Amino acid sequence: MNAFIEKKATYKALVVGVSAGGLKALCSILPKLPVGFPVSVIVVQHRKHMAGDYLIEYLAKRCQLAVQLALPSQPITPGSIYIAPTGYHLLVERNATFSLSIDARVNYSIPAIDVLFESAAICYQHQLIGLILTGANHDGSLGLKTVKKYHGLTLVQSPDSAEYPEMPDAAIAATQVDHILPLSQIASFLTRLLMGDDHG
Amino acid sequence: MKYKFNVSQLYLFLNGTQGRTMNQLDLQNFEINQLLESIYFRYGYDFRNYARASLERKVIKRVALSGLSSVTEMNQKVLYEPEFFNLFLKDMSVTVTEMFRDPYVFKKIRQQVCSHLKTYSRINIWHAGCATGEEAYSIAVLLAEEDLLKRSRIYATDYNNHSLEIAKKGSYAIDKIAPYAQNYLEAGGQTCLSDYYQVHQQTISFHSSLQDHITFANHNLMKDQVFAQMHLIMCRNVLIYFNNALQERVVGLFKDSLVHRGFLVLGEKESLEFNAHGKAFEEFGKNERIYRKKSDL
């Protein structure tokens, strides 16, 4: 069943959830995604709410794809990397635009990975890829389960390659994930999957 | 060949001919539409123009928490049990709010908006969507320090009576205060936040000298009208919950309510860029999302 879906699906979006140790993990994946990468990349990185948010700037300098803050009502276009703002939950509406909320924290977090993943799963269903990376909590495990429920593809960074293995461990415990990948291989796996064997 | 369909199979068949198959999520969407119609019909709250994803999340959570089998079962309970509807209304009001959220915004109000407010003998401020009141008390503290509170009236409104009850009490858990006090200082606070409240065991209560200048009242941005002329309107992180149609209605209300050259403060991720009434305002603080009503031509 999975092989069938993987082969047949034309994916539209990749949601990424990452917490402690995230900067290093993101920097070993996002800069390697090539121009022409055919899906939208949407990232929740847990971090504190404050005025200056340097993550966007930092990643933009290193990535081939455009990196931007995810803002309300913005259409989500392929080949762009969107980062959830601090202090808000980021959600994907059914019409593939972003919305924000300051609803209660989920897993002590705002933005919460579960909130992004669950809303994106409703929008994109089998056309979604969910990826859980390093982190020291359990956020994202229910979200990844929802991605699986609607026949999306589920990926987790292998706990032994994670700076903080707790979040990958929790995701693996909650869901029969499709692929567990070492950090160094995630970018090439994604480009091969989405762009064919010539890439990655 | 002879076809024999029951109604639901026929429905699936018809959908199939339009190139889509009916799945569980399409059904859920339909059920939520019905639920929102019921709420509007029965109680007059119009959530049909709310951004859907966060609303859907709350509905699904309520279905699970109350041990219901579907949104349709919830719909039935909403229609016949006002108490159950109140529970859902409470779910809708849970927000993460804090005092002096985004301190740089309050600093800008203190440093650059207050000098304009000072020119009025009576100052009316509308805090629209005040939730549990933390920001209304923040602005009251700020006005007190700028020596403007005594001639100010803050109308802090929300559609949710449950939130308003908490706001009126002005009591908050003491363990939340440390970050508020930090925000207060970053916002240019002149003394110490503790000068404005008393501590009773695990809670703090703001002084009545602040409360005396705040009127907490029910006002529903979805359907109610302008109720007074305002010099400053604060409406932060409310528009993010609305779709474009409702955002336009609300900004239209603010435009009509503001005096000539009055101020409007939105949340840090909200803007008037795509709003039909945006042309009636000019940017006063770009980063702070402070707008000023233009002169009427």
Which tens digits make up the pLDDT trace of B7-46? 555 455 444 434 455 688 999 999 999 999 999 999 988 8
Residue B213 tokens read as: 């200048």
Size of interface A-B (CB pairs under 8 A): 68
Would you state the pLDDT for residue B93? 81
Cβ burial A131-143 (10 Å sphere, 16+ → b, else e): bbbbbebbbbbbb
Tens-digit pLDDT string for chain B (297 aa): 445 555 555 455 444 434 455 688 999 999 999 999 999 999 988 899 999 999 999 999 999 999 999 999 999 999 999 999 999 998 988 777 899 999 999 999 999 999 999 999 999 999 999 999 999 999 999 999 999 999 999 999 999 998 999 999 999 999 999 999 999 999 999 999 999 999 999 999 999 999 999 999 999 998 899 999 999 999 999 999 999 899 999 999 999 999 999 999 999 999 998 899 999 999 999 999 999 999 865
The answer to whether A99 contacts B51, with C-beta atoms less than 8 Å apart, is yes
Using the predicted structure, report yes or no on whether residue A51 has a pLDDT greater than 80: no
Listing DSSP states for B87-118 in one string gives HHHHHHH-B---TTSSHHHHHHIIIIIHHHHT
Q: In this predicted model, what pLDDT tens digit does every residue of B283-293 receive, in sequence order?
A: 999 999 999 99
Per CATH, the architecture of A2-6+14-194 is what?
3-Layer(aba) Sandwich (3.40)
Domain ranges of chain A: 2-6+14-194
Q: Which domains does chain B have, with CATH numbers?
A: 7-93 (no CATH), 103-293 (3.40.50.150)
A19 is catalytic: yes
A46 is catalytic: yes
CA distances from B110 to B144, B253, B286 (A): 11, 25, 16
CA distances from B134 to B214, B259, B287 (A): 12, 25, 22
Facing residue for A119 by CB, picked from B57, B95, B101: B57
For residue B270, the chain A residues in CB contact (below 8 A) are: 72
For residue B53, the chain A residues in CB contact (below 8 A) are: 91-94, 99, 119, 122-123
Q: In this predicted model, what pLDDT tens digit does every residue of A67-122 receive, in sequence order?
A: 999 998 888 999 999 999 999 999 999 999 999 999 989 999 999 999 999 999 99
Three-class DSSP category at A49: coil
> CA-CA distance, B278 to A103, in Å (whole number)?
27
Q: Is A90 an 8 Å CB contact of chain B?
A: no
Would you state the pLDDT for residue B88? 94
A119 is catalytic: no
Q: In this predicted model, what pLDDT tens digit does every residue of A166-199 receive, in sequence order?
A: 999 999 999 999 999 999 999 999 999 999 877 7
What number of H helices and E strands is found in chain B? 12, 10
For residue A72, the chain B residues in CB contact (below 8 A) are: 51, 240, 269-270
What is the average pLDDT value for chain A, to the nearest integer? 93
Three-class DSSP category at B230: strand
∠ at Cα B162 (B161, B166), nearest 5°? 110
Would you state the pLDDT for residue A9? 56
Would you state the pLDDT for residue B21? 56
Nearest to B241 by CA among A118, A87, A88, A109: A88
H or E segment at B76? helix B71-80
Q: Is B197 an 8 Å CB contact of chain A?
A: no
Active-site residue (options: A40, A119, A139, A161)? A139
Q: Is A94 an 8 Å CB contact of chain B?
A: yes
